[in-house]
Amino acid sequence: MIQPRSFPPATVHIGQRNIGQHFFRVMLRLLDRGQCLHAPDLPNLPKQPYPPSMAPAVLIVDDEDDILDLLAYNLKRAKMTPLRAGNGLKALKVAQQQRVDLIILDVMMPQLDGLETCRRLRRDPKLRHIPILILTARSAEEDHIAGLDVGADSFLPKSAGVGVIISQVRAILRAVHRQSPGGPSSILTAKDLRIDQACYLVHKGEGENRVEIRLPRKEFELLHFLASAPGVVYRRTDILTQIWGDDVLVSDRTVDVHVRKIRKKLGKKYIETVKGVGYRFRDPAD
């Protein structure tokens, strides 16, 4: 049984940092009173028939115990296995020691903030594949872009409903499952690139000049998608649907950020912007 807990009274003015905290504390008050066992935005979510050994392990990283409690409770209701960490350093340790299928990551934390935690996860060859959902009280566009720039897969404000957060987690996990690489024909050659979908590796150049380039998962999938059809122009909405799925909440700007990062790592000659339309991978004959 969840024990009642007391909270300081809400102030009239809720600062940027406290918007998300206030929302989660209100939800926890309802939970303590038994009014949130079937939260308004959760009852129609389908139960996923995961066997215990296959239940997705979701690591929640936040320095607020209230938020950890609420998300862990609702992840359990959604038949997932919640893991917890109070800061970025603890999160890295958990991810290195246990299977983690997705990370929900706060930004403003002591010792190691969320953006630096995301950078370190993406630099680690063993952890770089884990999808990351940034959940933060900071919802300005520049904060969203900063999260994507360091390798996050998606971004939600803490003021989003619990049902939206759980649905977003499920959508990201479904997208990962749909795009799992494999098979004997998983190597794509385009221009001087060798794109290995099974290993999520890109090799650039030929012979002694060949170099290995590791891209975060979404950047790799975007590159592979465009390079699979050289010369074909894809609208941003088409790319979002293919790479992120219809049910993941991301904007067109997400595509632009990922293309910019790919160009920075590979060079500008591979992906062309078609103004007013979208992007295409340059045809080798061009």
The CATH number of whichever domain residue 158 belongs to comes to 3.40.50.2300
Summarised one tens digit per residue, pLDDT across range 29-55 is 545 444 443 343 443 444 444 444 468
225 and 160 in one domain?
no
Beta-strand pair 278-281/57-61: unpaired
What is the pLDDT, as a whole number, of residue 60?
96
161, 178, 195: which is the final residue of a domain? 178
Could you tell me the residue range of the domain that residue 269 belongs to?
A: 187-281
* Backbone phi and psi for residue 53, each to the nearest 5 degrees, phi listed first: -75, -15
Report pTM: 0.57
Total of domains in the chain? 2
Tokens at 11, concatenated: 């102030």
Residue 3 counted as domain residue: no
What is the pLDDT, as a whole number, of residue 25?
57
What is the pLDDT, as a whole number, of residue 21?
54
Distance CA 143, CA 159 (A): 15
What is the pLDDT, as a whole number, of residue 247?
67
What is the pLDDT, as a whole number, of residue 285?
59
Residue 153 counted as domain residue: yes
What is the pLDDT, as a whole number, of residue 148?
81
What is the pLDDT, as a whole number, of residue 125?
79
Distance CA 166, CA 185 (A): 34
Cα radius of gyration rounded to whole Å, the chain: 20
143, 178, 213: which is the final residue of a domain? 178
Residues of the chain with pLDDT under 70: 1-54, 139, 177-186, 246-248, 284-286
